[in-house]
Amino acid sequence: MNREIKNKTKRMIYLILCIVLFFVFHFIPVFLNKAGLSQYSGIFSAFQYACCLVLVVTNQKRGIITSIILLTISALNLVRTIFIMGATNAVSGLSNQIFYLITIIMLGDIFAKQEKAAVTDSLTELFNRRGLHKKLRDSIEDNKPFYLVDIELGNFKLLNDSFGHIYGDRLLKKAAERIKSHIGDRGIIARKSSAEFVVILKDTENAEKDVNKLLDELKEKIVISSEGDYLDCYVTAFAGIVSFPGDSDSYENLLKYSDMAMVEALHTNSQSACVFKPEMEKSIKRRAELEHLIKEGIENNYFYLVYQPQYILEGKKLRGFETLIRMKLPGGTFVSPGEFIPVAEMSEQIIYIDDYVIQRAMKEFRDVVLNDKPDLIVSVNVSARNIGAVGFAEKIKQFLRDTGYPAKNLEIEITEYCMVSSLNTTIDNINALRSIGVQFALDDFGTGYTSLNYLAKLPVNLLKIDKSLIDNIETDRQKCEFVNAIISMGHLMGCEVISEGVENEQQLSKLGDTNCDFIQGFVWGKPFDYEIAKSLALV
Ligand code: C2E
Ligand code: MG
Ligand code: MG
C-alpha cells in the first residue's frame, strides 16, 4: 500500500513538472521574440535541451516521450516564426531543435535496448530474475488475482554435466519454448536461475490443471542436435503454485512460497504440481536439517550397513543379500533411509553414500564369496544420479579392482527414474558393466509410470516386484493375478523375478503358486548386521 502511495505521489510530481515545462517551453520563446530578445533564444534552447536530457536520464521511457513532445512544440514555434512572421534568422534555431530531437530519439532507442537487455535472459529471451522482480511488482500493483508458478527441471544439472554445456543450453532453450507456447499471452515467463522458470499466470480457469498439462508437455521427449548428432532427452519437471492475493499479497512471500511448493514437489518426486500449503514450511526445515545431518554423518561416520537376505523360493536356499544403509546419530537416534536418501538424492551427497555402500559391501563380503560361497550375490542400491553419470562404469570397475571382489557376485539395483534422467548414458554404463559380469536389478517394479515399451530398453537381469504389489496379495485375488502376470512378463523379457516385502506365510503360499524365482521380506529375514549376515551365508 505504501509503495502505491509513493508511486502515485511520484507520478503527480512528474505531471506537474511536465505542465510547468510545457508553459516554459511554449511561452518563453514567444516572449523573447516579442520583446526583441531573440539573441537569447539560443541560450534558451540549450536550456531546453538540458531539461530534456535530465528528464530522459531520470525517467527514461516517460522522459523520452515528454521530451519529444516538448521539443516538437518548440520546433513548431520556430516553424511558425519562420513561415508566418518571416523571421529567417530563426532557421539555425530550428535546425538545432531538429538535431536535439534526433539525439533524444537516438538516446531513447539506446536506453530502450539497454533496458530490454537488463531484464532479458540472453539464452532463452525470457525475462531474467530482474525482469521477473519488476513484472511481479507490477502485477501486485495491478491488484488483479494471479498465480505464481515455479518450475524446475530436476535433472538438468545431471544432463548438463553428462553431455556438456552446448547440449544443456539447447535443452534449456527448447524447454523455454515449450513453456512459451503453452502459456502464450496468458502470463509472463521468466528464467529465475539455471533450470528454474517462473510464470506469472494471469488468465487461467484452473491453475493446477493448466500447470499439470504444461508439466506433461515438458516431460515429452526433447531432441537436441549438435553437429549432426542427435540426443533424446527426457527432463523431469517439478512445479509449485501460489496464488495472489489468496496465499499472500507480499512480493517476497509469493516468491518464497512458490519456491517452497516447487521444492516440496521435487522432494516428494510429485509428477503433478504442488499447491502451496502453510505446513510446507515445516517439512522444508526438516529437510534442511537432514541435509546438514548427512553432511555431518559423512564427516563423522554416522552410517553403517545391514544386509537383508534373498532366497530362492523353491527350497528356501540363500541367493544373497540386499545391502541397505542405516544412519545412527550420536544420541542413538536412527534416521530411516526412506527419509534421508531422498534428501541426499537432491545433491551430490547421494554419490558419496552410494560409493561408500558399494565399496564397503564388497570389502565385507569379498572373502566369503572368494573362499566359501562363489554363487552368493550382494546387491547394492544405486541412485539415478550416479548410474546416469558419465564415468560410472569405470568407477565401479576401479572399486572391483581395489577390493578384489568378483564382478559376477555384484548386483546393482536401479529404479526406473534413471530413465528420465539420461537414458543413453545409463544404458551405456549398464552394458559396460554387464560385459564384465555385473548383474542389474530393476527395483520397485510396478510403482512407476514408465511405459513397458520403454522399460524393456533397460538391460536388467532381475525384476524386483515392489512391496506395495505384494501387500494383501493373500486376500486380493485380482492383485494376485496381476503379480502372476508381471512374473510371466518378466520371464518373457528374459529376467528373473523377485518379490520384495513378503511379510507372512499366506503371501508366501500365494507366491508359491506362481513362477516367482526369489523372495525377500520379513517373513524369511529382516535386514541383519554384517556378522549375522555372514554367519547366515556360511551355514
Ligand atoms: P528398497 O531398495 O526397495 O529396499 C527395500 C526396503 O523395504 C528396505 O527398507 C527394507 O528394509 C524394506 N523391507 C524389506 N522387506 C520388508 C518387509 O517384509 N516389510 C516391510 N515393511 N519392509 C520391508 P529400508 O532399508 O528402509 O530402505 C528404504 C529405501 O531406501 C530402499 O528401498 C532404497 O530405495 C533406499 N536405500 C536404502 N539403502 C540405500 C543405499 O545404500 N543406497 C541408496 N541409493 N538407496 C538406499
Ligand atoms: Mg533396493
Ligand atoms: Mg524396492
pLDDT at 26 (0 to 100): 65
Amino acid, res. 13: I
Spatial CA neighbour of 40 closest among 26, 30, 54: 30
Amino acid, res. 422: S
Spatial CA neighbour of 242 closest among 281, 294, 285, 282: 281
The 10 Å Cβ neighbour count of residue 426 is 23
Mean pLDDT by 10 residues, the chain (539 residues): 67 75 70 71 76 76 80 81 76 81 83 86 95 94 94 84 83 95 95 95 92 94 79 87 94 94 88 92 88 94 97 96 97 94 89 96 97 97 92 97 98 84 85 97 82 77 95 94 94 95 96 96 97 95
Report the C-alpha gap between 463 and 432 in whole angstroms: 20
The one-character DSSP state at 276 is P
Pocket of ligand 1 (CB under 6 A): 308, 324-325, 336-338, 341, 353-354, 357, 381-383, 413, 443-444, 467, 500-503, 520-522, 527
Nearest-atom number in ligand 1 for the CA of 336 is 26
The pTM (predicted TM-score) of the whole model is 0.70
Q: Which residue has the cell 512459451?
A: 180
Q: How far is the CA of 340 from the centre of ligand 1 (A)?
A: 12
Q: How far is the CA of 523 from the centre of ligand 1 (A)?
A: 15
Which residues 6+ apart lie within 8 Å of 367 measured at CB? none
DSSP string, 287-323: HHHHHHHHHHHHHHT-EEEEEEEEEETTTTEEEEEEE
Tell me whether residue 502 is exposed, middle or buried, using C-beta atoms within 10 angstroms of its C-beta: 0 to 12, 13 to 18, 19 or more. buried
248-285 per-residue burial string, b: 16 or more CB within 10 A, e: under 16: beebebbbebbbbbbbbbbbeebeebbbbeeebeeebe
Spatial CA neighbour of 516 closest among 533, 536, 495: 495
Nearest-atom number in ligand 1 for the CA of 413 is 2
Report the C-alpha gap between 382 and 386 in whole angstroms: 7
The cell numbers describing 346, all together, are 537432491
Q: List, in sequence order, every residue forming a beta bridge with 463; answer none if it has no partner.
A: 442, 497
Q: How far is the CA of 260 from the centre of ligand 2 (A)?
A: 29
Give 85-130 as a 3 state SS string: CCCHHHHHHHHHHHHHHHHHHHHHHHHHHHHHHHHECCCCCCECHH
Q: How far is the CA of 436 from the centre of ligand 1 (A)?
A: 27
Query: CB of 402 within 8 A of CB of 441?
Result: no
pLDDT at 3 (0 to 100): 59
- Cα Dmax for the chain: 120
Candidate of 341, 351, 463 to mutate for ligand 1, largest count of ligand atoms within 8 Å of Cβ: 341
Report the C-alpha gap between 535 and 365 in whole angstroms: 11
